[in-house]
Amino acid sequence: MSSNVFSSIPFWSCEPVTLFGARSFIKSFNRSWFSSVDCVNRFLYWAYLVSVFCIPGKGGHPNVIIFLTADAFGVLPPISKLTKEQAMYHFLSGYTSKLAGTERGVTEPEATFSTCFGAPFLPLHPTVYAGLLGNKIEEHQVNVYLVNTGWSGGPYGVGKRMNLTFTRAMVTAALNGSIEQATFTADPIFGVLCPDFVEGVPSKVLVPRHTWKDQAAYEKAAWELAERFTRNFEKFSNIDKEISTAGPAVCLNNYENLD
């Protein structure tokens, strides 16, 4: 818990199951009985009590947007730049992996697609939000990046989670703009633009194919994920062609020949 937030919580505050004083909560946090009450605990506090709160509580328009995903297949680049159409495509796709501990019953990563990265919470049709995103990207000339914190060197069980130090370096490069000094090359399967250099990150890591020992296994896994993207996107049959074709360049014959 942030020290700024902790110091802003009143002594008695609302919690989903019962009421706890902020200080007694901290003292009780490690007690076994506490987790049996509620393993995820929340408190309400007044924003104006946070010392770094900014009035009126809103900022300007961003010049960088970062989508986060965790690819359990180990085939998506750790960072890639997206065109406006690709950003809308991946926003609508909402691809990531359910990880152990995030949902009850999940013991190993499972690939999943959650529209706009939050399907259960959308009151309007997803294309409305995708359209707003595309308009804002174009209006404010925003650079959009897809950052993959999933597996590298192979899928779950073979490869390893992306090194956190590398992820931090890539996010920093995206935010400060230094990544724009790199040369970008389109991934032959997913079409996203991959940089050839990010300070603090080995060049080999930036290209997933180069981290796999078994190249045939990489091709198979990449085409399989590309096919999942395509099948998931079939539900958006009425969307503009520029967006529907901004996803992976799936060739079913190539994929089937890998079997």
pLDDT tens-digit readout, 102-148:
667 666 677 889 999 988 899 999 999 999 999 999 999 999 999 99
Contact indicator for 246, 88 with CB cutoff of 8 Å: yes
- What integer pLDDT is reported at residue 28 of this predicted model? 44
- How many angstroms separate the CA atoms of 200 and 182, rounded? 13
Contact indicator for 110, 72 with CB cutoff of 8 Å: yes
- How many angstroms separate the CA atoms of 130 and 242, rounded? 13
Q: Is the peptide bond before 62 cis (omega within 30 degrees of 0)?
A: no
Contact indicator for 201, 167 with CB cutoff of 8 Å: no
- How many angstroms separate the CA atoms of 118 and 149, rounded? 18
Domain ranges of the chain: 3-49, 64-256
174 Cβ contact list (under 8 Å, min separation 6): 64, 66, 79, 143, 145, 147
Residue 116: name the closest of 101, 128, 104, 98 by CA. Answer: 128
The listed CATH number (3.30.1360.120, 1.10.357.10, 3.90.228.20, 3.40.50.720) that belongs to domain 64-256: 3.90.228.20
Query: What's this model's pTM, rounded to 2 decimal places?
Result: 0.78
Contact indicator for 73, 162 with CB cutoff of 8 Å: no
Q: What is the pLDDT of residues 84-103, one digit of tens each?
A: 999 999 999 999 987 765 66
103 Cβ contact list (under 8 Å, min separation 6): none
pLDDT tens across the length of the chain (259 residues): 566 666 666 655 555 444 444 444 444 444 343 444 444 556 666 777 777 777 777 788 899 999 999 999 999 999 999 999 999 999 999 999 877 656 676 666 778 899 999 888 999 999 999 999 999 999 999 999 999 999 999 998 899 999 999 999 999 999 999 999 999 999 999 999 999 999 999 999 999 999 999 999 999 999 999 999 999 999 998 899 999 999 997 644 444 443 3
Alpha-carbon separation of residue 23 from 7, 14, 101, 166, 257 (angstroms): 10, 14, 27, 36, 62
- What integer pLDDT is reported at residue 47 of this predicted model? 74
